């Protein structure tokens, strides 16, 4: 059974900050990669160390999608944040983010 994809309010804001091409790439890739078996690790889909953002990361070129998977009461992938990889940092909503949380 396919998972439903839901974007948090924050993730919708992050999407709007992207270019049209980046937005399209994220939406298409999330639908293709996370609709079925979102908890299977792949080259671009990783379970992360415990952090305040989300347990899973999907890498799409220089973009990062942070999400969680809910099994009950229905199967839903919740996208919590979308960031841009710049060097060895991820920028989410204009702020650098690390495993310790957002900040500079």
pLDDT at residue 84, rounded to an integer: 96
pLDDT at residue 103, rounded to an integer: 41
* pLDDT of 27 above 80: yes
82 by DSSP, 3-state: which? strand
**Where do the DSSP E strands lie in 1-104?**
4-7, 45-47, 56-60, 63-70, 76-86, 89-92, 95-98, 101-102
pLDDT at residue 1, rounded to an integer: 82
Percent of residues, the chain, with pLDDT higher than 70: 93
* pLDDT of 29 above 80: yes
| pLDDT per position as a tens digit, 63-87 | 999 999 999 999 999 999 999 999 9
Percent of residues, the chain, with pLDDT higher than 90: 81
**pTM for this model (two decimals):** 0.91
Cα–Cα distance between 11 and 80 in angstroms, integer?
A: 5
pLDDT-based confidence at residue 102 (cuts at 50, 70, 90):
very low
pLDDT-based confidence at residue 23 (cuts at 50, 70, 90):
very high
Which residue segments constitute the domains of the chain, with CATH numbers given?
4-102 (3.30.2310.20)
């Amino acid at each position: 059974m396919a998972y439903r994809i839901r974007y948090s309010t924050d993730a919708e804001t992050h999407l709007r900050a992207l270019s049209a091409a980046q937005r399209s790439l994220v939406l298409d890739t999330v639908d293709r990669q996370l609709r079925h078996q979102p908890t299977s690790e792949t080259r671009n889909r990783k379970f992360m160390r415990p952090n305040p953002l989300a347990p899973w990361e999907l890498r799409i070129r220089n973009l990062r999608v942070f999400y969680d998977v809910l099994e009950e009461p229905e199967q839903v992938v919740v996208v919590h944040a979308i960031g841009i990889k710049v060097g060895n940092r991820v920028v989410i909503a204009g702020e650098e983010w690390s495993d310790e949380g957002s900040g500079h």
